[in-house]
Amino acid sequence: MSRDVSGRSGGLKTRVKTAKGRKVGSTRWLERQLNDPYVKRAKAEGYRSRAAYKLIELDERFGFLKGAKRIVDLGVAPGGWSQVVRQRLPQSTVVGIDLLPTDPIEGATLLQMDFMDEKAPELLKEALGGPADLVLSDMAANTVGHPQTDHLRTMALVEAGLLFATEVLRPGGAFVAKVLAGGADSALVAELKRNFVTVKHAKPPASRKGSSEWYVVAQGFKGE
């Protein structure tokens, strides 16, 4: 990698030269990463990704981590959210799942498999050992570049996560999930409101301004 560094202090930006074989988009992404204060902060504080701060900021606003004992982390890789949970709730039981490999996290059970696999829900419940207090979902479908298709694929994951949450949450529990611009659609919002006392949308400061991601925070699970 070739870097053109204008300076080492005073807020000066690191500019990345376009290397042979690297696409312009990749160069822009790398430059954005090198200059992202959340990326730098995550590295300094030992978090695996800047996404850790999205969870921290959402919890500061909504307080869903307080008192949680059993937590499910859907789309756990690389593990930033579970790191936050274990740090704030060291006595908690954390179970995560992702198609991608995730390095071990002390005190967390990590499953490498597709959440959409029909065996996944039962394996998660078994590892959890009882009703969950909180289901977190940072899942997003791989994008294909077609906005409507990408939206539908990601929302299908949100719906699957919600269905799982209604099966595993204790009364009073919470469900937090990544959605896309505009938030959850009307049918999903109606289902959330049917199952939870409060349903809010939020975009934490750690989400990049240009990102289409939002989060839905549903609290006060009504139970069956």
Q: Residue positions in the annotated binding site for S-adenosyl-L-methionine?
A: 79, 81, 98, 114, 138
23 counts as catalytic: no
Are 221 and 199 a contacting pair, CB within 8 Å? no
- Measured CA to CA, the distance from residue 98 to residue 180 in angstroms comes to 20
In one letter, which amino acid is 190? Answer: A
Neighbours of 163 (CB within 10 A): 12
Residues tagged in the binding site annotation: 79, 81, 98, 114, 138
Helices (H), the chain: 24-35, 37-45, 51-62, 80-88, 120-128, 147-168, 186-195
- Measured CA to CA, the distance from residue 167 to residue 224 in angstroms comes to 9
Q: Which listed residue (43, 66, 119, 178) is catalytic? A: 178
Neighbours of 109 (CB within 10 A): 18
In one letter, which amino acid is 50? Answer: R
CA distances from 162 to 174, 184, 191 (A): 10, 12, 9
CA distances from 37 to 10, 11, 58, 140, 214 (A): 13, 10, 18, 23, 20
Neighbours of 14 (CB within 10 A): 15
The catalytic residue positions are 178
